[in-house]
Amino acid sequence: MPSVAVRFHNVVQRFRVIRERPDTLREAFAHFYRKPRNTYHDFEALKHVSFEVPHGTTVGIIGRNGSGKSTILKIVAGVYRATSGEVEVNGSTAPLIELGAGFHHELTGRENILINGLLLGLSKREIQRLEPAIIEFAEIGEFIDAPVKQYSSGMYMRLAFAVATAVNPDILLVDEILAVGDAGFRGKCFDRIAAFRKQGKTIILVSHDQDTVRKFCDRALLIHEGALLADGGPDEVIGRYEEIIGCAASALPTGQFT
């Protein structure tokens, strides 16, 4: 197996931000005739980002909202394809990105476990084998055969977390999800992530919470406005991050908040 789990080299992700997006045919025709200029501009969500994540390390990505943290995770997960640059991902990935995206409200918990598991790339047999463990971990009890629309939001999140972590990937992608659930369940989630670490899995974790990064990560990356500003030990990188937040806060009263 190659020594790196994830390698980004000069990765650029560009999105076309269309101010007046022709969503319908009428608009498309109208645009065609009027030949408007500058109705879109290219927005670079990632600007020549390069980093490596060796196998078995836990890397935290920090940065302000909209800085491009989640874009990195989505490129690793294969949802986006980088506009340019090289991306190398060695091993299976499972996204813990915004949990429960694949849940259908009319279906029962059990039915949703199956569909979500299949979406994450498990086979039906594997899911049936894992099902008892998932149900137990999620602490759903008899509600498992009720439609998920009757679940409390905590139950919903717990089930989603349980399914996503049951996939047992080589590379776990965690996006800002540990803020859910009560303290008890959050503890369980952290335990599970710690267990992944112990098994030598690679984890990439996006978080605002500096304590989480300090506690779990071997390394941290600081992303600011699409560029990689710092790459190093968590304490050092968090220091830089706090400087940036400080600057932004001091810029606030002058109204230059973009």
Contact 237, 243 (CB under 8 A): no
d(CA 216, CA 124): 33
Indicate whether 111 belongs to the interface with another protein (CB under 8 A): yes
- The residues in 42-81 that bind another protein, with binding defined as CB under 8 A, are 74, 77-81
Least distance between another protein and beta carbon 89 (Å)? 11
Q: How many residues bind another protein (CB under 8 A)?
A: 30
Give the β-pairing of 84-89 and 4-18: antiparallel
CA angle 235, 241, 247 (to 5 degrees): 140
Strand, helix or coil at 148?
helix
Indicate whether 124 belongs to the interface with another protein (CB under 8 A): yes
The residue within the footprint of another protein, chosen from 115, 194, 227, 229 (CB under 8 A), is: 115
Q: At 177, list the tokens.
A: 């999800």
d(CA 163, CA 96): 10
Main-chain dihedrals φ then ψ at residue 47, nearest 5 degrees: -115, 100
Least distance between another protein and beta carbon 17 (Å)? 11
The residue within the footprint of another protein, chosen from 20, 86, 119, 179 (CB under 8 A), is: 119
Q: Closest Cα partner for 30 from 39, 17, 15?
A: 39
Contact 220, 237 (CB under 8 A): yes
The residue within the footprint of another protein, chosen from 4, 9, 15, 55 (CB under 8 A), is: 15
Indicate whether 87 belongs to the interface with another protein (CB under 8 A): no
The residue within the footprint of another protein, chosen from 16, 34, 35, 198 (CB under 8 A), is: 16
Indicate whether 157 belongs to the interface with another protein (CB under 8 A): no
- Interacting residues toward another protein by CB under 8 A: 15-16, 22-26, 28, 74, 77-81, 95, 97-98, 101-102, 104, 106-107, 111, 114-115, 118-120, 123-124
